[in-house]
Structure 1
């Protein structure tokens, strides 16, 4: 189905590369009227995303954002409101509370947090990453209780291994890739578009009754963690 997001105004944080880049472009392709692209460090990447959004005939706003600073978060939403209108979709990939609460001031919409299978499965050497993703998962659950009566749905996407710059060594070296996908039942990593198709669905009206839960997009990885013990 095309045009599932017509009339929506989306903010996609960290959309200068990887999954969030693909998500911003997919939202534009699916008819979202406007997409706000946030910049942290990669200005060139954010500009590329914004240009691809515009190629689909949609408006794109570029906005700097450091999600560790609540004042910057507030400024982002004020700017988006002034330039584009009221945010109806937020795709958030940071483990802090403030972004969700600013978006939660709207009276209707969707918040999609992007976590990881590592919200459930710890990984040696990645304590900070796993803790942040686990915290974001619980933020989703808490916000789902707080925002339900305001007609704002909140949900998680938890990807497994995805072929983005985050996994550049595996992209560059077939042997590393083969080793890393060995524990995935489907024996492959995901392409970014396989995550964004889920994001489009969750942002659409078709998913209005999906609330407070996580959708795993991982090739079965989380189901296989106990094998061989």
Structure 2
């Protein structure tokens, strides 16, 4: 707002279908319409191997990281369809949509599911001219990685396998998101943009 723009802030649990519907209703009431959806909320890996993974922890990851984007995408598409189509959906996944991580089955599986949701939606929504794409970051200096931010030795260890030898800044991810939300990306859909400083190539993974 200080920059001359208007914001509507709504607190909601995206794993709850009714709260998602209310969130969209409030946003539409505030803006009149919605043209761009970015699904960025999520929970991290539990660190537990599958044999020790409680069902409630698995459910939490799936409900937040999969049901959440599903609920949001579904409601957004309903709104854009009623408005005649066009729009942008950006789903934030992770390099772990492709790269397995011991102790991360809950997180990795959830991100892989959203990648396939993105690709399926890209096909379904092409007639409506709604673009659907993935952002798949590697390590980013956000509260998700607060332990490494607070511990230089841990940070150095975690970036060792990244060819650029550093984690991403949130602003670097944001700039690509702005591109995908813009008219410059009108012919881009069903794509996954990996931003990992070369990590996946270094691990022999493709995307």
TM-score band (shorter)? Answer: 0.7 to 0.9
> Runs of 5+ in structure 2 lacking a partner?
41-64
Corresponding residue for residue 105 of structure 2? 127
Cα deviation per residue 1:22-79 (whole Å; 9 max; x = unaligned)?
A: xxxxxxxxxxxxxxxxxxxxxxxxxxxxxxxx11111111112111111111111111
Corresponding residue for residue 31 of structure 1? none
**Secondary structure of the equivalent of 2:66?**
coil
How far residue 112 of structure 1 moved from its aligned partner, in angstroms, is 0.1
Corresponding residue for residue 12 of structure 1? none
Distance 1:95 1:222 in 2: 23
Corresponding residue for residue 142 of structure 1? 120
**Secondary structure of the equivalent of 2:9?**
strand
2:172 aligned to 170, 188, 194, which one? 194
- After superposition, residues 19-98 of structure 1 pair within 5 angstroms as 54-93=1-40, 94-96=65-67, 97-98=70-71
How far residue 226 of structure 1 moved from its aligned partner, in angstroms, is 3.1
Distance 1:199 1:162 in 2: 14
Corresponding residue for residue 101 of structure 1? 74
| TM-score, with structure 1 as normaliser | 0.74
**Secondary structure of the equivalent of 1:95?**
helix
The CA RMSD over aligned residues, in Å, is 1.2
| TM-score, with structure 2 as normaliser | 0.81
Distance 1:226 1:81 in 2: 44
How far residue 224 of structure 1 moved from its aligned partner, in angstroms, is 0.9
Aligned length: 174
2:192 aligned to 206, 210, 214, which one? 214
Corresponding residue for residue 47 of structure 1? none
How far residue 85 of structure 1 moved from its aligned partner, in angstroms, is 1.5
Distance 1:140 1:226 in 2: 24
